[in-house]
């Protein structure tokens, strides 16, 4: 981008303070947690925007988009930059559109729907929802910082998914408003099933400007940590707990040793050499779960009834992709994968992977509900990175034995496992970003030439 581009943008916005050019800030706001992957680290380290723009309204976004379309300038949307496969890293420079200032929670409606601007932080939505008797159905472990727009465009699920499934399931995303990347940007509203053309598209086919998110009924969640001598025993108990419909849960996470050894602040509740389960259950059921765990030879190392405000550790800070963060902090040669085990063959699959890769593949399981309502062991294994071919061998072997893998070491929507086989996201790209200016390079199947032909 040239100086005159930037001057013209400032004129159109009627203010200069929305535009950040200071190199360190540009660098910081061009990055996310892509360095989780040694492969993406190599590929994305030198990528950055020309400028960052922080709009405060849809009207400001419209002015930026219209100008970018005319001048052929790429625009990459950013929420809070906590994505961990470079989703928000601009591959072709241009503008990073930082939506953090658009963070208003517009309403918590009486039927349990949060209406928000895209930059609203999930932690803030959770607080507002709880005050009104509701709570987030599911959220990533980064919820304090992560934005709701970034979660819809880049995330998949998390804490709560054991009850409500993934973000894309059960009409959790009721409706979205989206601005298109065109000369005259259109503000479109998608309701119900229509949202799936934009969800998890990494900001490649429209800019989400408003969100209607269905909430769950508020519960007071107690926390428990239960240690077991062997991973197989921890898995047996975790599977039983997850499938027991009488016990309401927000989290069941199972770690094999030595993963708990990476959790420095809670090391004292993680006995040496033992597998451990971290869970959140409905407060009135804490005593039942504790008793059941003891009956199954589990050692309850931490049991905390619901408290507001909470004192002491928050177990979710060690689950989902936070587990990976603690592991990488301890040993930078570690990284991760995203897998779904087959619930009917899972024990056999554990055995085969251990036989093939030994302790280079450590089991970290998050029990979740899938789109058919079945509880399945989703896995974010901590894996040792030796070489790229070795990592690919792990992925290939998993797939060979029926473990599905959403590869977090690729930087394209199609590679990550949430690309729809009906190609709805790709079709939306042709319709709403015909010149391929939104987060270019991230939707690999989009062809600019075909788009131009279709328009003519």
Which residues in the 433-452 window bind ligand FAD by CB under 6 A? 439
Query: Of the candidates 435, 429, 433, 439, which has an alpha carbon nearest to the alpha carbon of residue 449?
Result: 435
Q: Is residue 313 near ligand FAD by the rule CB under 6 A?
A: no
From CA 384, how far away is CA 347, in angstroms rounded? 22
Beta-bridged to residue 19, according to DSSP, are: 53
Handedness of CA 160, 163, 168, 174 (dihedral sign): negative
Binder among 208, 327, 375, 428 for ligand FAD (CB under 6 A)? 208
Residue 297: count other Cβ atoms within 10 Å of its Cβ: 12
Give first-to-last CA distance, the chain, whole Å: 28
Query: Of the candidates 110, 105, 62, which has an alpha carbon nearest to the alpha carbon of residue 210?
Result: 105
Residue 422: count other Cβ atoms within 10 Å of its Cβ: 10
Judged by CB under 6 A, the number of residues near ligand FAD is 38
Residue nearest to ligand FAD (CB): 150
From CA 58, how far away is CA 211, in angstroms rounded? 13
Helix pair angle (3-13, 58-71), 10° resolution? 150
From CA 435, how far away is CA 69, in angstroms rounded? 8
From CA 379, how far away is CA 444, in angstroms rounded? 26
Q: Is residue 37 near ligand FAD by the rule CB under 6 A?
A: no
From CA 437, how far away is CA 93, in angstroms rounded? 11
Minimum distance of ligand FAD from residue 216's CB (angstroms): 17
Contact 442, 204 (CB under 8 A): yes
Q: Is residue 118 near ligand FAD by the rule CB under 6 A?
A: yes
Token couple for 312:
């002491």
Binder among 215, 222, 276, 325 for ligand FAD (CB under 6 A)? 325
Q: What is the DSSP letter of 202?
A: T
Minimum distance of ligand FAD from residue 149's CB (angstroms): 3
Which residues in the 256-285 window bind ligand FAD by CB under 6 A? none
Minimum distance of ligand FAD from residue 356's CB (angstroms): 27
Q: Is residue 90 near ligand FAD by the rule CB under 6 A?
A: no
Minimum distance of ligand FAD from residue 299's CB (angstroms): 27
Residue with smaller CB distance to ligand FAD, 118 or 216: 118
Residue with smaller CB distance to ligand FAD, 150 or 238: 150
Minimum distance of ligand FAD from residue 162's CB (angstroms): 12
Binder among 80, 163, 349, 407 for ligand FAD (CB under 6 A)? 80
Minimum distance of ligand FAD from residue 55's CB (angstroms): 11
Binder among 74, 185, 203, 434 for ligand FAD (CB under 6 A)? 203
Q: Is residue 298 near ligand FAD by the rule CB under 6 A?
A: no
Q: Is residue 150 near ligand FAD by the rule CB under 6 A?
A: yes
Residues that bind ligand FAD (CB under 6 A): 32-33, 76-84, 87-88, 99, 118, 140-142, 146-147, 149-151, 153-158, 202-203, 207-208, 320-322, 325, 439
């Amino acid at each position: 981008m040239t100086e005159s581009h930037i001057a013209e943008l400032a004129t159109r916005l009627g203010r200069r303070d929305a535009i950040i050019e200071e190199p360190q800030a540009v660098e910081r706001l061009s990055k996310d947690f892509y360095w989780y992957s040694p492969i993406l680290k190599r590929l994305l380290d030198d990528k950055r925007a020309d400028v960052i723009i922080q709009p405060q309204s849809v009207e400001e976004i419209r002015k930026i988009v219209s100008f970018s379309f005319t001048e052929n300038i790429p625009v990459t949307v950013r929420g809070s930059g906590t994505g961990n496969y470079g989703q928000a890293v601009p591959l072709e420079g241009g503008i990073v559109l930082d939506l953090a200032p658009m963070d208003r929670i517009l309403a918590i409606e009486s039927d349990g729907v949060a209406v928000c601007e895209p930059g609203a932080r999930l932690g803030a939505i959770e607080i507002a929802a709880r005050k009104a008797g509701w709570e987030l159905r599911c959220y990533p472990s980064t919820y304090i910082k992560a934005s709701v727009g970034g979660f819809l465009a880049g995330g998949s699920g998390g804490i709560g998914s054991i009850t409500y499934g993934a973000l894309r399931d059960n009409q959790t995303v009721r409706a979205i408003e989206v601005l298109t990347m065109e000369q005259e940007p259109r503000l479109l509203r998608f309701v119900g099933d229509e949202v799936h053309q934009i969800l998890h598209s990494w900001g490649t086919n429209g800019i989400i400007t408003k969100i209607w998110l269905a909430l769950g009924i508020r519960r007071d969640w107690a926390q428990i940590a239960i240690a077991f001598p062997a991973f197989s025993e921890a898995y047996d108990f975790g599977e039983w707990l997850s499938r027991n419909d009488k016990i309401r849960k927000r989290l069941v996470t199972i770690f094999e040793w030595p993963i708990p050894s990476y959790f420095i602040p809670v090391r004292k509740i993680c006995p040496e050499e033992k597998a451990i389960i971290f869970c959140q259950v409905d407060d009135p059921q804490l005593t039942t779960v504790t008793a059941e765990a003891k009956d199954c030879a589990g050692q309850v190392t931490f049991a905390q009834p619901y408290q507001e405000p909470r004192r002491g550790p928050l177990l979710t800070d060690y689950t989902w992709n936070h587990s990976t963060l603690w592991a990488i902090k301890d040993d930078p040669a570690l990284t991760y994968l995203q897998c779904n085990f087959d619930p009917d063959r899972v024990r056999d699959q554990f055995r085969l992977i251990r036989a093939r890769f030994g302790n280079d593949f450590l089991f970290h399981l998050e029990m979740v509900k899938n789109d058919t309502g079945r509880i399945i062991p989703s896995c974010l294994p901590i894996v040792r990175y030796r070489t790229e071919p070795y990592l690919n061998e792990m992925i290939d072997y998993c797939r060979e034995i029926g473990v599905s893998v959403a590869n977090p070491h690729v930087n394209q929507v199609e590679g990550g496992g949430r690309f729809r086989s009906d190609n709805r996201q790709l079709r939306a790209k042709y319709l709403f970003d015909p010149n391929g200016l939104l987060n270019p390079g991230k939707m690999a199947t989009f062809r600019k030439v075909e788009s131009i032909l279709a328009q003519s």
